[in-house]
């Protein structure tokens, strides 16, 4: 399973578990009498493994998630998809002298046999594995997970077979889906010299050449305790988890010191990109998309908070400015959404996705979107809009701690991309401090259609094969 960088939008469809990301986290807040959202506790083992524990004693179950600071954006040139390939191979057998040996698929079979759930996912900045089980089986899960952290041993035939699996996964999820193809083209155009422009699953021709040596190189370097974050949420306490982790993960030696990741960044402004136009015989309904490249929370925490509020004002279903203007008032779109994703090591993204009521209104739709953004940049939101947005974001938090896997996902994804635990816990206080001027400032700086930004947004239009809209110019790289 691989996770694309877009969140809360129709650019891509994620498994529901993975929607517990930064976008979902923003709906979380703390009860009025609490000091922190999760009241998480932390510790670090001697081998460098960082541990976060969120207690939830409502039911005797727990989720453990192990996050590695290695994602698709860290791959070597020409080896796209290797991190996702390695994620697949991690289920194909491992052996460790002290922690035990397990054959291909055995870990998952054990989890299912005790009524639990397990899976894994790859992002641009991380790879993560999780199991949700009753607490009596938690230490066994830690033992097996620790064994495959340093004992991966995949039979040759499994490597070859799994390569075919990931290639077929790409065919099904991207190559056979016009929307996914368009999203891939838009993303590549927005990040022309940055690895975020390369799909997480990889380019097909490079994926076909991936082998055991490629995967083992990344495994040996990055699958070590001092490059990992263990987050456990459920009916446990920090002393219990530290004791279990010491008996399991604590048996593993630390790896070599890993330097902070530094990736290619364009040194000159990127020229505006012509809209990417695709036509496809399987498309029945046209689609308009626009993707922006903005600071993530690690790069600019204050701007990220203001953008989160702006996301709610512009993109809230039924009540957002874009929906009211484009769907209700002007009736140019059947639906429209706006999202902002800030949990990234490098630049975050914001996206607009709309379904035009007909192909003939696409130009009017684009201009009307610009009108909404222009008005926000020039005049800003109202005080009531900001207050209501913040209230809606915080109100959704009442049941935050009732979720079993949610806290592990939220904390893990944000910490692994550079946000501190303290900043996660204090989010309600910080989001409450966002002002009308803060929101207008980020709208002016990043979304103003009259101002050429350092990295201009990229637009894409998906049309039926037989469409003859004279305003739609086909991209030379698009589908005929």
Indicate the domain borders of the chain: 16-251, 276-405+421-464
What pLDDT is stored for residue 35 in this prediction? 62
Q: State the greatest distance between any 2 C-alpha atoms of the chain, in Å, as a whole number.
A: 68
> pLDDT for 298-350, tens place per residue?
999 999 999 999 999 999 999 999 999 999 999 999 999 999 999 999 999 99
| Mean pLDDT (whole number) for 161-182 | 97
| Mean pLDDT (whole number) for 287-293 | 97
Residue 407, token pair as written in the block: 């806290």
Instruction: Please state whether beta strands 458-464 and 276-280 pair in parallel, antiparallel, or not at all (unpaired).
Output: parallel
What pLDDT is stored for residue 6 in this prediction? 28
| Mean pLDDT (whole number) for 376-403 | 85
Please give the distance of CA 378 from its chain centroid, rounded to a whole number: 31
The one-character DSSP state at 446 is I
For Cα atoms 226, 88, 197, give the angle at the middle one, nearest 5 degrees: 80
55, 75, 87, 385: the active-site residue = 87
| Mean pLDDT (whole number) for 364-387 | 98
What pLDDT is stored for residue 82 in this prediction? 98
Which tops the pLDDT comparison, 260 or 379?
379
| pLDDT at 398 exceeding the cut of 70 | no
Which tops the pLDDT comparison, 174 or 25?
174
| Mean pLDDT (whole number) for 242-268 | 89
Give percent of the chain above pLDDT 90.
80
Confidence of residue 14 (pLDDT cuts 50, 70, 90): very low
| Mean predicted lDDT score pLDDT of the chain | 89
| pLDDT at 77 exceeding the cut of 70 | yes
What pLDDT is stored for residue 272 in this prediction? 83
Which tops the pLDDT comparison, 422 or 393?
422
Confidence of residue 10 (pLDDT cuts 50, 70, 90): very low
204-213, 278-287, 468-477: least confidently modelled range: 468-477
What pLDDT is stored for residue 2 in this prediction? 37
| Mean pLDDT (whole number) for 150-168 | 97
Give percent of the chain above pLDDT 70.
88
For Cα atoms 162, 6, 426, give the angle at the middle one, nearest 5 degrees: 115
Distance (Å, rounded) from C-alpha 219 to C-alpha 116? Answer: 26
What pLDDT is stored for residue 260 in this prediction? 87
| Mean pLDDT (whole number) for 25-46 | 69
φ, ψ of residue 55 to 5 degrees: the values are -80, 135
| pLDDT at 274 exceeding the cut of 80 | yes
Closest CA to 231 of 22, 71, 408: 408
What pLDDT is stored for residue 124 in this prediction? 98
What pLDDT is stored for residue 455 in this prediction? 86
Which tops the pLDDT comparison, 77 or 404?
77
Residue 362, token pair as written in the block: 């696409």
Confidence of residue 18 (pLDDT cuts 50, 70, 90): very low
> pLDDT for 419-469, tens place per residue?
999 999 999 899 999 999 999 999 999 999 998 777 899 999 999 987 655
What secondary structure does DSSP assign to 387-407, as a single string?
HHHHHHHHHTTTTGGG-SSHH
Q: Across the beta sheet with 228-234, what order do the strands follow? A: 41-44, 50-55, 228-234, 61-68, 127-134, 117-122
Distance (Å, rounded) from C-alpha 348 to C-alpha 449? Answer: 19
Tell me the β-bridge partners of 65: 130, 231
CA atoms lying within 13 Å on the CB side of residue 382: 5
> pLDDT for 89-141, tens place per residue?
999 999 999 999 999 999 999 999 999 999 999 999 999 999 999 999 999 99
What pLDDT is stored for residue 176 in this prediction? 94
Distance (Å, rounded) from C-alpha 27 to C-alpha 391? Answer: 10
The one-character DSSP state at 271 is P
The CATH homologous superfamily of the domain defined by 16-251: Metalloenzyme, LuxS/M16 peptidase-like (3.30.830.10)
24-38, 208-222, 296-310, 424-438: least confidently modelled range: 24-38
CATH architecture of 276-405+421-464: 2-Layer Sandwich (3.30)
Q: How far is CA 255 from CA 40, 76, 226, in A?
A: 27, 20, 7
| Mean pLDDT (whole number) for 387-402 | 77
Distance (Å, rounded) from C-alpha 254 to C-alpha 222? Answer: 11
The reply to whether 276-405+421-464 shares the fold of 16-251 is yes
Closest CA to 149 of 159, 157, 158, 141: 141
The answer, as to whether pTM is greater than 0.85, is: yes
Q: How far is CA 9 from CA 65, 169, 351, 419, 435, in A?
A: 25, 21, 8, 23, 26
| Mean pLDDT (whole number) for 190-210 | 96
Is the distance from CB of 371 to CB of 325 less than 8 angstroms? yes
Is the distance from CB of 83 to CB of 222 less than 8 angstroms? no
Is 87 a residue of the active site?
Answer: yes
Distance (Å, rounded) from C-alpha 214 to C-alpha 223? Answer: 14
Is the distance from CB of 191 to CB of 266 less than 8 angstroms? no
């Amino acid at each position: 399973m691989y996770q694309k960088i877009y969140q809360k939008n129709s650019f891509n469809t994620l498994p529901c578990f993975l929607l517990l990301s930064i976008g979902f986290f923003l709906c979380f807040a703390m009860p009025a009498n609490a000091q922190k959202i999760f009241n998480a506790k932390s510790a670090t083992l001697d081998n460098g493994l960082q541990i976060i524990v969120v207690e939830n004693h409502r039911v005797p179950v727990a989720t453990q998630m192990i996050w590695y600071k290695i994602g698709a954006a860290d791959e070597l040139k020409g080896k796209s998809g290797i991190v996702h390939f390695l994620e697949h191979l991690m289920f194909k057998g491992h052996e460790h002298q002290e922690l035990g040996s397990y054959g291909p698929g055995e870990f998952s079979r054990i989890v299912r046999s005790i009524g639990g759930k397990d899976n894994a996912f790859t992002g641009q900045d991380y790879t993560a594995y999780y199991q949700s089980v009753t607490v009596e089986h938690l230490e066994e899960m830690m033992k097996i997970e620790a064994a495959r952290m340093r004992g991966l041993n995949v039979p040759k035939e499994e490597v070859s077979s799994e390569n075919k699996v990931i290639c077929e996964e790409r065919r099904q999820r991207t190559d056979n889906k016009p929307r996914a193809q368009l999203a891939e083209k838009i993303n590549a155009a927005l990040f022309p010299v940055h690895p975020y422009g390369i799909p997480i699953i990889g380019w097909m021709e490079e994926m076909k050449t991936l082998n055991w040596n490629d995967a083992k190189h990344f495994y040996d370097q990055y699958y070590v305790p001092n490059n990992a974050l263990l987050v456990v949420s459920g009916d446990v306490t920090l002393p219990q988890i530290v004791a279990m982790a010491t008996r399991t993960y604590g048996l593993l030696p630390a790896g070599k010191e890993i330097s902070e990741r530094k990736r290619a960044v364009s040194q000159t402004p990127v020229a505006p990109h012509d809209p990417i136009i695709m036509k496809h015989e399987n498309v029945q309904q046209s689609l308009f998309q626009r993707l922006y490249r903005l600071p993530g929370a690690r790069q600019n925490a204050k701007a990220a908070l203001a953008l989160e509020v702006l996301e709610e004002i512009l993109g809230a279903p039924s009540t957002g400015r874009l929906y009211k203007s484009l769907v209700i008032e002007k009736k140019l779109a059947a639906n429209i959404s706006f999202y902002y994703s800030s949990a990234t090591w490098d630049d975050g993204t914001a996206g607009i996705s709309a379904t035009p009521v007909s192909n003939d209104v696409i130009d009017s739709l684009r201009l009307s979107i610009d009108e909404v953004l222009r008005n926000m940049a020039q005049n800003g939101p109202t005080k009531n809009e900001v207050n209501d947005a913040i209230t809606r974001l915080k109100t959704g938090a009442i049941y935050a701690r009732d979720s079993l896997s949610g806290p592990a996902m939220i904390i893990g994804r944000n910490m692994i991309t550079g946000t501190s635990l303290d900043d996660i816990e204090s989010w309600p206080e910080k989001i409450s401090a966002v002002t009308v001027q803060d929101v207008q400032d980020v709208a002016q700086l990043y979304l103003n259609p009259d101002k050429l930004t350092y990295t201009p947004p990229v637009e894409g239009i998906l049309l039926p094969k037989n469409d003859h809209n004279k305003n739609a110019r086909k991209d030379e790289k698009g589908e005929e």
